[in-house]
Chain A
């Protein structure tokens, strides 16, 4: 019952609670600890606590991935703004294959595609992703599968 996942969940919940509260008296703190323990207990009891809820094996490489993703998002934001101002959109719809093995890896990949402006994941079936892109350049970015390799690298960090 007490393992790496439940302890991590408790630390995350309690850290968030501390940030949001701003009052640090013993009574309030102990109420916070009790409510966080209750939340973790209910999560374990409901069998929600697995790799999908809390992929802790992502954490070592998560910072580097986040920085890379922010760089990509900035780049494609500038491109999307250019497309909107120049009225040069030529939308296209295509499918790509995702190389991730686990569900959480696929979710990360699909959300990263959607988070980058200019590309949206429209449908997912097993490991085939259907992607809508604003121009051909955005489509080529997804088809070159840089992001796919990056997410697979993140997934294999254990």
Chain B
């Protein structure tokens, strides 16, 4: 009984991860400029990757592999905002004009 429910939860988590990665990929193509596309990439990095890793943890059972998978997740969480910030910062510094309105004073 427990095995079956763990299996079902892990399959649901894989499906959710696949959904978020697919939506993020569609967003990468569909959104208008580089700044908006970073949001879609961020969605793949956070929700997509974490749901896939959660599904893999449930599949692997409790062992050293579980801890390694958790660490992969933690590293993605630490590195993903850095890449997003560097991309956005460089685009701003090179003078890319963002689509949409600018509110108040910006740097």
Are the chains A and B members of one assembly? yes
Q: Which of B66-106 contact A (CB under 8 A)?
A: 67-68, 71, 77, 80-82, 84-85, 88-89, 91-93, 98-106
Complex Cα distance, B69 from A97, in Å, reads 37
Complex Cα distance, B99 from A134, in Å, reads 10
Complex Cα distance, B106 from A128, in Å, reads 9
**Closest CB-CB distance, B83 to chain A, in whole Å?**
9
Interface check A94, CB cutoff 8 A:
yes
Complex Cα distance, B35 from A89, in Å, reads 12
Would you call the interface of chain B mostly helix, strand, loop, or mixed? helix
**Closest CB-CB distance, B100 to chain A, in whole Å?**
4
Binding site for A on B (CB under 8 A): 19-20, 23-24, 26-27, 30-33, 35-36, 38-40, 42-43, 46-47, 64, 67-68, 71, 77, 80-82, 84-85, 88-89, 91-93, 98-107
**Per-position 1/0 for A88-99, Cβ under 8 A of B:** 011111110000
Complex Cα distance, B25 from A119, in Å, reads 18
Interface check A111, CB cutoff 8 A:
yes
Given contacts A93-B103, A128-B107, is CB(A77)–CB(B85) below 8 Å?
no
CB of A93 within 8 A of CB of B98, answer: yes
Complex Cα distance, B93 from A125, in Å, reads 13
**Closest CB-CB distance, A109 to chain B, in whole Å?**
11
Complex Cα distance, B91 from A132, in Å, reads 12
CB of B85 within 8 A of CB of A121, answer: yes
Complex Cα distance, B36 from A89, in Å, reads 9
8 A-B pairs with least C-beta separation: A91-B100, A114-B81, A84-B27, A77-B47, A94-B103, A117-B42, A117-B43, A111-B81
**Closest CB-CB distance, A9 to chain B, in whole Å?**
16
Q: A73, A94, A132: which has the most chain B beta carbons within 10 Å?
A: A132
Q: Which residues of A contact B99 (CB under 8 A)?
A: 91
Q: How large is the interface on A (under 10, 10 to 19, 20 to 34, 35 or more residues)?
A: 35 or more
CB of B106 within 8 A of CB of A93, answer: yes
Closest to B41 in A: A117
Closest to B43 in A: A117
CB of A77 within 8 A of CB of B100, answer: no
Q: Which residues of A contact B93 (CB under 8 A)?
A: 123
**Closest CB-CB distance, B70 to chain A, in whole Å?**
9
Q: Which residues of B contact A111 (CB under 8 A)?
A: 81-82, 85
Q: Which residues of A contact B103 (CB under 8 A)?
A: 92-94, 139
CB of A20 within 8 A of CB of B68, answer: yes
